[in-house]
Each structure stands twice: as C-alpha cells, then as structure tokens.
C-alpha cells in the first residue's frame, strides 16, 4: 500500500476515503442529532417519542425490506426496530467497513498489476 500512496498521492486517497466514508458520517450525525432532538422534546413535553432505525431509513427514501425466508426476515425486523440513534450509525459503520475493505483490496490489486506491468516492460 506504500507504493500506492506514492503513485496516487495522499490527497487523492484522502478524497477517496472521504467520498466513501461520507455515508458513515451522515449516519453518525443522524444518530447523534436524533438523540439530541428526542432528548430536547422529552425535556420540553415530558413524552419520549421513540424512533426506530426504519424511521431513519425512510427519511433517506428506503422502505422495509422483505424476504421470503422467516428467520432472515425476523433478523431484519429485529434490527430495524432498534432505536434510530443506534441503528443508523451501525448501518454506517458496516457500510464504511465494507467500502474500506473493497478499497484496500482494489489498491492492492492495482499495485500488483502495476508491478507486473513494470516487470514486463523491463524484459
């Protein structure tokens, strides 16, 4: 990965990481502001209004996913019933982890390809 940093430059990699981590940051901020808003409403009215992860996803245009299998559907429903301030950052963290893993694998593949191309030119 050191060679990739030299070839692409740290600014380019920082921009790539920022673009891929932006959904995680949005989900983290959404979870934080949700708990602040719910806490403020509770202090003002004395009534706690629960919001689920599904409520947060609906805000971004997603609907409840359905599958034909019973156990996976129960797991999906269980997760979507989590409080929004926990579920949204969890989704963002999983997303960021997958994207980061794909990015590392891609950079490693490009680096190996580059080394092979340089070796073939030398021959």
Mean pLDDT value of segment 22-46: 89
**CA-wise closest residue to 57 among 74, 35, 82, 38:** 82
Average pLDDT score over the chain: 84
Confidence class for position 40, pLDDT limits 50, 70, 90? very high
CB atoms within 10 A of CB 123: 4
pLDDT in tens, 60-117: 898 999 999 999 999 999 999 999 989 988 888 888 888 878 877 887 888 888 888 8
pLDDT at 102: 82
pLDDT at 109: 84
pLDDT at 98: 85
Output the pTM of the full model. 0.66
pLDDT at 7: 57
Stronger pLDDT, 54 or 15, i.e. the higher one:
54
Q: Is there a contact between 60 and 91 (Cβ–Cβ < 8 Å)? A: no
Mean pLDDT check: name the lowest of 6-20, 31-45, 85-99: 6-20
């Amino acid at each position: 990965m050191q060679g990739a940093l030299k070839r692409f430059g740290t600014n380019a990699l920082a921009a790539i990481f920022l673009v891929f981590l932006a959904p995680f940051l949005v989900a983290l901020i959404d979870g934080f502001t949700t708990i602040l808003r719910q806490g403020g409403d509770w202090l003002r009215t004395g009534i706690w209004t629960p919001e689920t992860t599904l409520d947060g996803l609906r805000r971004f245009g997603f609907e409840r996913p359905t599958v034909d299998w019973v156990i996976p559907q129960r797991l999906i429903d269980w997760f979507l019933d989590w409080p929004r301030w926990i579920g949204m950052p969890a989704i963002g963290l999983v997303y960021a982890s997958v994207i980061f893993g794909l990015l590392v694998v891609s950079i490693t593949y490009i680096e190996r390809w580059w080394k092979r191309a340089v070796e073939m030119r030398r021959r």
